Structure 1
């Protein structure tokens, strides 16, 4: 992840919430994937992004995702799931699980989605403590710590920029100012922050959704698309279910589905069968 951030061009990291969506991201050729806390909460618990999901549930899903793809994976770890000791544990366990980066935010607990009203932020000292604990807790110096501030909506852009500077000083590798409300604000963020920055592209959210080339021109180094796949899966899945209920068949959307071979191929089925054949007895006598 650190090498990607140091290289040319903006790094695009679409969101995923399970191994299927992670494979779609990786096989499309993206350089990194983002484990969306909102998507995991919805898919694992049937609950919105309101701080309901636990550390154990997130790391279990993140571990499986990281094991299923071979590109760097960033994980949304909300506020770190407690005090500084909890943050250290979170970072160490995420690193051991195969993740390449974590994103920690300055909201109070329980947190809210970054594009919903009513978010509250902790004081600067508490958040800088989280960042320092995360940086100190990692074993691999290349493990990336992303610091997010939600102060723009609660306290205004200037307060968010002041926090961003302090978070970078505390050791964050990437700064994420959540929910700027115009292209001009996005430009101001990049003009004022002397660190790599992250853009959060949320369809229907508070921030303009811009092409990656425009984000790069503004100065962003990393762009995440947390729930683009979640939204599309929800939309298409609902359309399929409505059609099946009304017509009694799925044929009307068959051309929009992966066929059997393509779906299994998404998960390396030929490699699995070759591995099975390598070790399986074929005549019942142990001969192969």
Structure 2
């Protein structure tokens, strides 16, 4: 299991256009069963997903925050539809061979909508999703002004999700945002109820102190595997990976680091162009054209063109 970066993967390993086809859901289950935590960097498009895989990580996390920012340039306040999120998931899945865990927001409606949402994400090829108990339209878990639906309603949505999946290896993660609304005790109680309703992993969003994080880990130990959201710049303290491991979390998400890094890089390039009139000063810090085309699979395309080219004459 990947802890913090490249391990057994070669640097040029990315999803192939042709191949035997991975079994990502079974693989995700295997990874989650290993000593944790499993590290899942966030990706907001197919390119960042390929970069995550190429860096040697065993799983990609499809971030809703990053998807919203990259697709429409707006904050994560429930503006995207399920169709837009699932389309992005499908593109990301097709670009990599490692499992993809996707943000499925609130399920985009009631329990019946959740049935369709789960099946659509399954058809898109993701290995798992997380569903949250916010009122729709939702907000990023680290923004203020959130509201949550009744516990029983969310439990019903999770039962619907569990019944809807056609692949028993498809992973269901239940996220509760109740800590910021009703307090940590309610969030923990909700998480227990969500495990009983069929969730495979539990995700208590946005605890605001290490003490609260430890409480979540202690109170939910043995109930179900736990998710830690290492939201870059968010309300949750940035614990070390070793501390996260000590607390017993099984999955850690780094949702928006790739998005923030890309934003910083683009700003630096544009500053150089505005200052100098050309991007020349910024180019030494960037991949070369050849390196980039290799990254996105041009050698494979060239091999396939040669393989399938018709003979003339």
TM interval, shorter chain, is: over 0.9
Residues 97-120 of structure 1 show CA distances to partners (whole Å, capped at 9, x for unaligned) of: 110000100000000010000000
1: CA distance, partners of 2:188 / 2:294: 46
Match of residue 123 from structure 2: 96
2: CA distance, partners of 1:128 / 1:187: 24
Report whether the alignment pairs 1:136 with 2:163.
yes
Shift of 1:167: 0.6
What's the TM-score once normalised by structure 1's chain length? Answer: 0.96
> Unpaired runs of 5+ in structure 2?
1-27
What's the TM-score once normalised by structure 2's chain length? Answer: 0.89
1: CA distance, partners of 2:305 / 2:100: 29
| SS class of match (1:176) | strand
Match of residue 71 from structure 1: 98
Residues 219-251 of structure 1 show CA distances to partners (whole Å, capped at 9, x for unaligned) of: 110000111100111112112111111111222
Match of residue 270 from structure 2: 241
Match of residue 154 from structure 1: 181
2: CA distance, partners of 1:23 / 1:256: 20
Match of residue 208 from structure 1: 237
Report whether the alignment pairs 1:266 with 2:295.
yes
Shift of 1:124: 0.4
Shift of 1:266: 1.1
Tell me if the contact between 2:231 and 2:255 (Cα under 8 Å) persists in the aligned partners.
yes
2: CA distance, partners of 1:191 / 1:275: 53
> Unpaired runs of 5+ in structure 1?
none
Shift of 1:42: 1.0
Report whether the alignment pairs 1:55 with 2:82.
yes
Report whether the alignment pairs 1:171 with 2:174.
no
Alignment partner for residue 85 of structure 1, among 109, 112, 124? 112
Match of residue 151 from structure 2: 124
Report whether the alignment pairs 1:219 with 2:243.
no
Tell me if the contact between 1:66 and 1:98 (Cα under 8 Å) persists in the aligned partners.
yes
Report whether the alignment pairs 1:188 with 2:211.
no
Tell me if the contact between 1:187 and 1:219 (Cα under 8 Å) persists in the aligned partners.
no
Shift of 1:271: 1.0
- The residue correspondences of 1:31-50 to structure 2 (distance < 5 A) are 31-50=58-77
**Range 105-114 or range 251-260, more displaced:** 251-260
Alignment partner for residue 30 of structure 1, among 46, 57, 68? 57
CA RMSD of aligned residues (A): 1.1
1: CA distance, partners of 2:248 / 2:310: 58
